[in-house]
Chain A
């Protein structure tokens, strides 16, 4: 081995030009590969942090009736199917030791009704949450930049900057929190150019639920918020208290669950199919006074939702659309998903669990595509590097036919010649590739210090958040070393065959 290393090293020094070419390719390949790994790793971690920890949780529970898994960013699809059994779901989830926390939310689209003369109605995703509980699960997700966040049990809406901008573009109205003054520094360029800017401190939403029982609801704007990361995406989600959301979407609210029904009312509500048809038959028109089901509509549906008192009932008794589940740090997401689905099935609940990537639809797939594209780019780079190295080493082997043939003539086996070439390439790979990896580590660490920010959606996906934060773990560095070793081994296979097959006769023939 000592002899092989000695000859290999001296050959590298003897053929400095070729060694430098191969070394430069290995350096560049290893450098780009390390930086690429850093970007991919940073992106993965950023997405994990900003989507999972900031918005969706690791796993999302949705109704079995829900056709598509994509429940967050579905622009053209149907409304999200409601979940009626959260109380039961909660009991099941609380027993699972791999779950860290969970929060039920309502989520659908809603139209922002425009009662001004100018502009068209706006549209937005709306999320109804028990705000106290939501903030316990996503404590650092949102920051108020105007007004404040919702108090526990308080009715109202908080509008993200992205949604406010969209609302202004479509309705011509600039929304500000109730009791707050217009902050000109927060106006968009378009809003600044308007001389007579119309400002409002309340919104009227009309929900888009599945059962066509939506109603419009007027809510005070309590605050304007900014999401900590990926604000350009999550900034389209208006948050409101869960009871207002339910009323807006025409869902069964927690207040509804507290309404005491008489026997006749219950009978009427539980009636269905032929029973309902019978209500409108001729026979039904002639009934005994005592059998008549009297429904006090006022007790069921409040005529002015925004005037309702704070809900004192258990909010969980109403309808939600999904449950966002955070897993414990050491929990395996795939195994946990299987386990949750198994236990939900066992309990005969009308719920299924989907991974966050499926739940965010395009964002998850775009992230995967960007990640795959980066990976393909790095692999392509390797492929080109391999071709160049193979070509250069093969040429080097052929140019050294006399030397190799003579070695074979005096007793060197094919294995010795191959080891000698492998030694040369290995030394180059170790020196230049190692330097490339070290340079890549340095660049990744230096770039992450700059905290480069972007508002661009695609860049934010690439960054995994608002800030470009490439990251290299020990595993990533190990992966880079492994990739370098693989490239070296793949690149050297053909030249080794060429060198090993040189015979003393080839050398003599060349002379």
Chain B
């Protein structure tokens, strides 16, 4: 079942008198439960592609359908609700709310949804914190956690709403290799447990081994798609 359908996706950024063509006609379909890695060198268009899939940025041209919804036609509130209910994010650096502890950060999206009781929210958040191995650190604020621990909290938060898709833009970029690998292992594990579609970008070819499918992007175009 296709969870994402992208066709003819273009994204242009005006830069003074010139225009930067970040994406120049991308076509991509993502199956539900995939663990997709988007790889490519810096400036190839990986982040732009993920931003558009995550409704953080808007396409200049083309069509993006997520869960059967054409996102280009949605207004700000609908897009925000789509992100809240269907998409989880793991960013490279800015990740957590500094004034909330690890557990509260994980609870945050569920509290925004207002669909569960406080007890249910707490139970679900604790389950996720436990799954990412941070039970001992749940009362620690982000400033008291290491980079790897923060990314684990971010993964738990991204999964807490049981989204259809989790987008991770270079989640290991600021981590050492051992920690980075543990994060990717965790994502792979969560993909298997939660059956959630994961799309992560990286410019590290070694990361490919964790993905079920790899999309290689270069100069704004998909150069190669392969199953690992």
Interface residues of A (CB under 8 A from B): 3, 6-7, 10-11, 13-14, 402-403, 405-414, 416, 503-505, 507-508, 511
Contact = CB atoms under 8 A, between A and B. Distances in A.
B99 A402 contact: no
B94 A14 contact: no
Given A504-B56, A508-B47, A411 B97 contact: no
Interface of B: 47, 51, 54, 56-57, 76-77, 80-81, 83-85, 88-89, 91-100, 108-109, 111-113, 157-158, 161
A3 B110 CA distance: 11
A7 B88 CA distance: 21
A412 B94 contact: no
A497 to B, nearest CB: 14
A408 B94 CA distance: 12
A406 B83 CA distance: 11
A504 to B, nearest CB: 4
Contacts of A7: 97, 99-100
The interface centre, meaning the residue of A14, A402, A411, A504 with most chain B CB atoms within 10 A of its CB, is A411
B94 A413 contact: no
Contacts of B77: 413
Nearest to A13: B99
A375 B178 CA distance: 67
Given A3-B111, A411-B113, 8 more contacts: A13-B99, A407-B108, A409-B54, A409-B56, A411-B161, A414-B80, A508-B56, A511-B91
Contacts, number: 74
A511 B92 contact: yes
A14 B57 contact: no
Contacts of B111: 3
B97 A409 contact: no
A403 B100 CA distance: 12
Contacts of A507: 94
B80 A405 contact: no
Nearest to A402: B94
Contact of B95 (A3, A406, A503): A406
Contacts of B57: 505
Given A3-B111, A411-B85, A503-B56, A14 B80 contact: no
B84 A411 contact: yes
Contacts of B93: 511
Contacts of B112: 410-413, 416
The interface centre, meaning the residue of B51, B113, B157 with most chain A CB atoms within 10 A of its CB, is B51
Contacts of A403: 94, 97-98
A7 B92 CA distance: 23
Nearest to B160: A410
Contacts of B108: 3, 407, 410
A336 B6 CA distance: 79
Nearest to B108: A410
A133 to B, nearest CB: 74
B95 A411 contact: no
A346 B57 CA distance: 78
A413 B80 contact: yes
A409 to B, nearest CB: 5
The interface centre, meaning the residue of B94, B96, B157, B161 with most chain A CB atoms within 10 A of its CB, is B94
A11 B99 contact: yes
A207 B47 CA distance: 97
Given A508-B56, A511-B92, A511-B94, A410 B83 contact: yes
Given A402-B94, A503-B56, A504-B56, A409 B100 contact: no
A419 B95 CA distance: 21
Ranked nearest first, the 9 interchain pairs of A and B with the lowest CB-CB distance are: A411-B84, A10-B99, A402-B94, A504-B56, A411-B112, A3-B111, A409-B89, A410-B109, A411-B83
A409 B83 contact: yes
Contacts of A410: 83-84, 88-89, 108-109, 112, 157-158
A407 B112 CA distance: 10
Contacts of A6: 100
A503 B91 CA distance: 14
A96 B197 CA distance: 87
B169 to A, nearest CB: 8
B162 to A, nearest CB: 13
A511 B88 CA distance: 19
A406 B56 contact: no
Contact of A505 (B56, B92, B95, B98): B56
Given A3-B111, A411-B109, A511-B94, A14 B99 contact: yes
A347 to B, nearest CB: 69
Contacts of B158: 410
A149 B51 CA distance: 93
B221 to A, nearest CB: 22
B42 to A, nearest CB: 14
B141 to A, nearest CB: 9
A11 B109 CA distance: 19
B100 A411 contact: no
B97 A408 contact: no
Contacts of A408: 80
B80 A412 contact: yes
B98 A14 contact: yes
Contacts of B99: 7, 10-11, 13-14
A405 B94 contact: yes
Contacts of B80: 408, 411-414
B194 to A, nearest CB: 17
A14 B108 CA distance: 19
Contacts of A411: 80-81, 83-85, 109, 112-113, 161
B215 to A, nearest CB: 20
23 contacts: A11-B99, A14-B99, A403-B94, A403-B98, A406-B95, A409-B83, A409-B91, A410-B83, A410-B88, A410-B108, A410-B157, A410-B158, A411-B80, A411-B81, A411-B113, A412-B80, A412-B112, A413-B80, A505-B56, A507-B94, A508-B51, A511-B91, A511-B94
Contacts of A503: 56
Given A7-B99, A416-B112, A406 B84 contact: no
B97 A407 contact: yes
A505 B76 CA distance: 13
A138 to B, nearest CB: 65
Nearest to B91: A406
A406 B97 contact: yes
A410 B88 CA distance: 7
